[in-house]
Amino acid sequence: MALKRMDNVGIVVESLDAAISFFAELGMKLEGRTTIEGEWAGRVTGLGLQRVEIAMMVTPDGHSRLEISRFLTPPVVADHRNAPVNALGYLRVMFTVNDIDETLARLQKLGAQLVGEVVQYEDAYRLCYIRGPEGLLIGLAEQLA
Q: How many residues does the chain have?
A: 145
Residue spans in the chain of domains classed CATH 3.10.180.10: 9-73, 93-143
pLDDT band at 2, cuts 50/70/90?
A: confident
pLDDT at 38 (0 to 100): 84
Q: Does domain 93-143 have CATH number 3.10.580.10?
A: no
CATH topology of domain 9-73: 2,3-Dihydroxybiphenyl 1,2-Dioxygenase; domain 1 (3.10.180)
pLDDT at 89 (0 to 100): 77
- What integer is the mean pLDDT of 1-21? 90
pLDDT tens-digit series, residues 62-104: 999 999 999 999 988 888 877 887 888 777 899 999 999 999 9
